[in-house]
C-alpha cells in the first residue's frame, strides 16, 4: 500500500496491489527536473492514452492542460469515492475515514469546511513570523556546522516538518518516526507489506494523539477539531484528517525546497533575482511550482458515466489518472513551457490541483516556500552543489518526486 498526495492539498489516498515495479510507470517518468520526453510528446499526439495503471488494470492517462483541468473540476463524472480495484478491504476504514481525496461532494464539503478556516490568508499571515523563525533557526544550525551539508536532511525536510508538527500538536521529538513511516509508504519500490505496515503504524500513532486530544484538547489544529467539531467527527475521521495533513504537510513542501534550490542553482541569473529582490519571490515560487510539479498525479478517479475527452470515449467504470507535470508543461497552457522563467509567475498552474480538491494547504506551502528560498540564498550567497551535478540522485519511485540528497557547500566568510 502506498500514499498518493494530490497536488499538495493534503488530500491523501491509500491504494494497494502495487509490487516493486520493474520499470518506472509512465506518469512518474522524469528526465532530471523535466517530465520525460515520451510523456510530453502526448500533448501533440493522443493527449489521452491507455496505460497499465497502479492496480495492474487498464487506466486512462490524461496529459493536456485543458483536459486535466476538466477532469479535476468534474466530480460528478469523475469520482474520487468510487471503489478502487484492488483496494485492501481489511484497511478500508482507516484508509477512507477523514480522507478528503476519497470523498465526493457533499461529504467532501462536510470534511473540508472543518479544516478550511485553519488555512486562510489571515491565518497564514499570523503564522508567518513563526515560519520565518523556524527557517532562520535551521539556517543557523547549518552555518554553525559549516559546509558541506545535505540541504534535504538539514533544511528542506525539517522546516516543513516542524511547521506541521506544531500546527497539529505532534511532539517534535517524535518526528523521526512519522517521517520514516511516511517515506516508507510513499516509496513504490518497497514491497506492499512494508508499505501497509508503515501506514498502519502511522495510523495507530495518530489514533493515540486523537485519544489524548479528546481528553484534553490543546491549542492546536487537532484540539480545535475536537473542541469545535468533536460531536460531528468520529475518531477514525480525526485520525484520517491528521494523517493526510501530517504526510502532505511536509513531503511535498520539502521536495519543492530541495528541487527548487537545485533548479535555481542551475539558473544562476534567476537565483540572483530571488536572492536580491524581495518583490520577485512570489512570482518565482509560482513558476517553480509549475515547472517542477513534484506530484506526479492526483488520486485515481473512476468515470461514473461515458465521457468523451480529447476524441476518446472513457466508459463508465474506467479508471482515470491525470499527469500534472505534463499538464503544466502544455504549450496550450503557456508559451515556452519547458523554460524556467521566474518573472512570469503564471497563474492557473495545476501543481496544487483544481476544483473542489484544490490544495487545502496551498497557502501554507506558499508561505513556507516564500520564506525558505530567499532566506537560504541570502544566508549563503555562494551556495553551490558539493558534488557534480550529474551525481544528484532522485527519488524516482516515490509518489512525490524529489532529490534523495542534495550536498551543498558555501564559502565561509
Give pLDDT tens digits for 199-224. Answer: 777 888 888 889 999 999 988 888 99
Q: Using alpha carbons only, what angle is made at residue 157 by residues 171 and 242, rounded to the nearest 5 degrees?
A: 45
**Is the per-residue pLDDT at 17 higher than 60?**
no
**Is the per-residue pLDDT at 8 higher than 70?**
no
User: Which pairs count as long-range contacts for 70-73, CB under 8 Å and 24+ apart, including other chains?
Assistant: 70/309, 71/301, 71/309, 71/320, 71/322, 72/298, 72/322, 72/350, 72/353, 72/354, 72/355, 72/357, 73/354, 73/355
At residue 86, the pLDDT reads: 42
**Is the per-residue pLDDT at 6 higher than 70?**
no
Percent above pLDDT 90 for the chain = 58
Name the residue ranges covered by the structural domains of the chain: 26-409
Confidence of residue 11 (pLDDT cuts 50, 70, 90): very low
Confidence of residue 362 (pLDDT cuts 50, 70, 90): very high
Give pLDDT tens digits for 33-65. Answer: 999 999 999 988 889 999 986 656 789 999 999
Distance CA 256, CA 269 (A): 19
> What's the mean per-residue pLDDT of the chain?
86
User: Which architecture does CATH list for 26-409?
Assistant: Orthogonal Bundle (1.10)
Q: Is the pTM of this model over 0.75?
A: yes
**Is the per-residue pLDDT at 192 higher than 70?**
no
Amino acid at each position: 500500500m502506498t500514499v498518493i498526495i494530490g497536488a499538495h492539498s493534503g488530500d491523501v489516498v491509500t491504494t494497494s496491489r502495487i509490487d516493486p515495479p520493474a520499470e518506472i510507470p509512465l506518469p512518474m517518468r522524469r528526465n532530471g527536473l523535466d517530465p520525460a520526453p515520451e510523456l510530453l510528446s502526448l500533448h501533440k499526439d493522443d493527449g489521452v492514452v491507455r496505460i497499465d495503471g497502479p492496480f495492474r488494470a487498464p487506466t486512462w492517462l490524461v496529459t493536456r492542460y485543458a483536459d486535466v483541468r476538466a477532469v479535476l473540476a468534474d466530480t460528478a463524472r469523475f469520482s474520487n469515492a468510487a471503489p478502487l480495484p484492488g483496494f485492501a478491504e481489511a484497511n478500508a476504514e482507516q484508509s477512507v475515514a477523514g480522507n478528503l481525496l476519497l470523498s465526493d461532494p457533499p461529504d467532501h464539503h462536510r470534511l473540508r469546511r472543518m479544516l478550511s478556516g485553519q488555512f486562510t490568508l489571515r491565518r497564514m499571515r499570523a503564522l508567518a513570523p513563526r515560519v520565518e523563525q523556524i527557517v532562520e533557526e535551521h539556517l543557523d544550525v547549518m552555518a554553525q556546522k559549516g559546509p558541506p551539508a545535505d540541504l534535504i536532511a538539514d533544511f528542506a525536510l525539517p522546516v516543513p516538518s516542524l511547521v506541521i508538527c506544531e500546527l497539529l500538536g505532534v511532539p517534535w521529538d517524535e518526528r523521526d518516526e512519522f517521517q520514516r513511516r511516511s517515506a516508507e509508504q510513499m516509496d513504490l519500490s518497497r514491497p506492499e507489506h512494508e508499505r501497509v505496515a508503515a501506514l498502519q503504524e502511522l495510523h495507530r500513532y495518530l489514533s493515540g494523539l486523537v485519544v489524548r486530544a479528546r481528553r484534553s484538547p490543546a491549542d492546536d489544529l487537532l484540539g480545535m477539531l475536537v473542541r469545535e467539531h468533536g460531536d460531528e467527527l468520529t475518531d477514525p475521521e480525526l485520525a484520517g484528517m491528521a494523517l493526510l495533513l501530517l504526510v502532505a504537510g511536509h513531503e511535498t513542501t520539502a521536495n519543492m525546497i530541495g528541487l527548487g534550490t537545485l533548479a535555481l542553482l542551475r539558473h544562476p541569473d534567476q537565483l540572483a533575482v530571488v536572492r536580491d529582490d524581495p518583490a520577485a519571490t512570489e512570482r518565482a515560487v509560482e513558476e517553480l511550482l509549475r515547472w517542477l510539479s513534484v506530484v506526479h498525479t492526483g488520486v485515481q478517479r473512476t468515470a461514473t458515466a461515458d465521457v468523451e475527452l480529447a476524441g476518446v470515449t472513457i466508459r463508465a467504470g474506467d479508471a482515470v489518472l491525470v499527469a500534472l507535470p505534463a499538464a503544466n508543461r502544455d504549450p496550450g497552457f503557456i508559451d515556452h513551457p519547458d523554460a524556467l522563467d521566474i518573472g512570469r509567475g503564471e497563474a492557473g498552474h495545476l501543481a496544487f490541483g483544481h476544483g473542489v480538491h484544490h490544495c487545502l494547504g496551498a497557502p501554507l506551502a506558499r508561505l513556507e516556500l516564500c520564506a525558505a528560498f530567499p532566506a537560504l540564498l541570502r544566508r549563503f550567497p555562494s551556495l553551490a552543489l558539493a558534488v557534480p551535478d550529474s551525481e544528484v540522485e532522485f527519488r524516482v519511485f516515490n509518489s512525490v518526486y524529489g532529490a534523495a540528497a542534495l550536498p551543498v557547500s558555501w564559502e565561509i566568510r
